[in-house]
Amino acid sequence: MSYQHQYVDGTKIHFPLGKVVCIGRNYAEHAQELNNPVPTEPLLFIKPSSAVVPIEGGFSIPDDRGSVHYEAEIAVLIGKPLSRKPSEEEVRDAISGFAPALDLTLRDVQARLKEKGYPWEIAKSFDGACVLAPFIPGDAYSDLADIDVRLTINGEIRQDGNSCDMLNPIVPLIQHLCGHFSLQPGDVVLTGTPKGVGPLNKGDTLVLELPGKSQFESRVL
Ligand code: ZN
């Protein structure tokens, strides 16, 4: 199924789908569960637009490259160009939406790459590696340091985080990454995963939500 940005009410968002900028280890308890040190500066990587699939109707995972882990994350849709050193107000004004997302990761492949000190690209960028839900409007939260994200698999809550636990909160994170590259309307920022990551399996049923704001059911095809 091809992907186009949209709001939960079905309104299409006419920004082209751009890159998906991700941060690793943005919650201390998640870094610890994978025995990773907590980074001193944001650990960034990018998924290409070809990795993005919509959550509706279910999604597929690779079955020939070892375990595929789910990482539930708060996705931020960028709606205005941002570059260099945007102010807090400019960043806030450029946010056009929030959605829950899955950063899917080939964990065995990533472990091998990490061991060698190589980039993670092929573990994070395969087709279908970014599952995105429809967005709620960018003004849906008055406090960006109090956004819940939750993932339930087969009836069991596996991840239940809040943006207050981010090591790099949303606005400073976006300011930081603009120091490295510009953001364009249609780009998405995935803000890191709270603790509780684990493998996904064919047939799993999922509920991915920004509790109190939006909720989506899906399954692994
Ligand atoms: Zn992630």
Q: Mean pLDDT for each 10-residue chunk of the chain (221 residues)?
A: 92 96 92 82 94 97 97 98 96 98 97 94 97 98 97 98 96 96 98 97 98 98 97
Q: Does residue 1 lie in a domain region?
A: no
Q: Distance from the CA of 16 to the center of ligand 1, in angstroms?
A: 22
Q: Does residue 132 lie in a domain region?
A: yes
Query: Residue 75 and residue 77: Cα distance in Å, rounded?
Result: 7
Query: Would the pTM count as exceeding 0.85?
Result: yes
Contact assessment for residue 175 and residue 191, using Cβ atoms and an 8 Å cutoff:
no
Q: Distance from the CA of 28 to the center of ligand 1, in angstroms?
A: 13
Q: Does residue 217 lie in a domain region?
A: no
Q: CATH no. for residue 103?
A: 3.90.850.10
pLDDT at 30: 84
Q: Distance from the CA of 192 to the center of ligand 1, in angstroms?
A: 5
Query: Residue 108 and residue 123: Cα distance in Å, rounded?
Result: 8
pLDDT at 32: 85
Q: Does residue 2 lie in a domain region?
A: no
Q: Which pair of tokens denotes residue 20? A: 């998906």
Contact assessment for residue 216 and residue 208, using Cβ atoms and an 8 Å cutoff:
yes
Query: Residue 75 and residue 184: Cα distance in Å, rounded?
Result: 15
Q: Which pair of tokens denotes residue 159? A: 């991840």
Q: Does residue 129 lie in a domain region?
A: yes
Q: Which pair of tokens denotes residue 209? A: 């939500």
Q: Does residue 70 lie in a domain region?
A: yes
Q: Distance from the CA of 105 to the center of ligand 1, in angstroms?
A: 8
Q: Distance from the CA of 24 to the center of ligand 1, in angstroms?
A: 5
pLDDT at 40: 82
User: Which letter, b or e, does each residue of 101-137 get, where b requires 16 or more Cβ atoms within 10 Å of its Cβ?
Assistant: bbbbbbbebbeebeeeeeebeebbbbebbbbbbbbbb
pLDDT at 186: 98
Q: Does residue 117 lie in a domain region?
A: yes
Which DSSP string corresponds to 55-94?
STT-B---SSSS-EEE-EEEEEEE-S-B-SS--HHHHHHH
Q: Distance from the CA of 159 to the center of ligand 1, in angstroms?
A: 13
Q: Distance from the CA of 190 to the center of ligand 1, in angstroms?
A: 7
Q: Distance from the CA of 89 to the center of ligand 1, in angstroms?
A: 26
Q: Distance from the CA of 64 to the center of ligand 1, in angstroms?
A: 21
Q: Distance from the CA of 30 to the center of ligand 1, in angstroms?
A: 10
> CA triplet 48, 83, 89: central angle to 5 degrees?
115
Q: Does residue 213 lie in a domain region?
A: no
Q: Distance from the CA of 127 to the center of ligand 1, in angstroms?
A: 16
Range(s) of the domain holding residue 101:
20-149+161-201
Total domain count, the chain: 1
Q: Distance from the CA of 109 to the center of ligand 1, in angstroms?
A: 15
